[in-house]
Amino acid sequence: MKAIVYLLALFAAIKIGSAEYLFRTSARDVIVAAYRERAIQACQRDTRPALSGTAATSWAKPADVQLSIGKSGLDVQLWQVDHHLWNARYRNPYLVLTLADVATSLVCEYDVMHNATVLSRS
């Protein structure tokens, strides 16, 4: 009887885990597809004053686009829920675009909530 209970518990864990995995991956793909063009336009717009025109136009086909939830560089602890940057640290989505050109090695972090970018060199 214990074996049947363990087997049913294993099946339930597999079902819940696979449903969670499918939800997370599909949500990531939808957010990236929905905001990819906006992120590319914002990175092109904000790169032009800092760099030459070739770097600004090369954002049209980034080498990599990743979704990041929360900005890890902010100094906000998990228990500081009243902090004005708590949502930016733990909740807001960001698209991280990496430039295909290896010589410049630029990374553009697009804030989906505020339509803002942060450029950095990797």
pLDDT digits (tens, 9 = 90+) for 36-83: 999 988 888 887 665 555 565 677 788 888 898 888 888 888 898 888
User: Is 122's pLDDT higher than 80?
Assistant: no
pLDDT digits (tens, 9 = 90+) for 27-36: 999 999 999 9
> To the nearest whole percent, how much of the chain has pLDDT over 70?
87
User: Is 87's pLDDT higher than 90?
Assistant: no
Looking at the structure of the chain, the number of domains it has is 1
Question: pTM, whole model, 2 decimals?
Answer: 0.75
Q: How far apart are CA 94 and CA 83, in angstroms?
A: 19
Q: How many residues does the chain have?
A: 122
Domain range for residue 77? 2-121
Average pLDDT over the chain, rounded to an integer: 85
Maximum separation of any 2 CA atoms in the chain, in Å: 71
User: Is 109's pLDDT higher than 70?
Assistant: yes
Q: Is 100 left (phi over 0), alpha (psi -120 to 50) or beta?
A: alpha
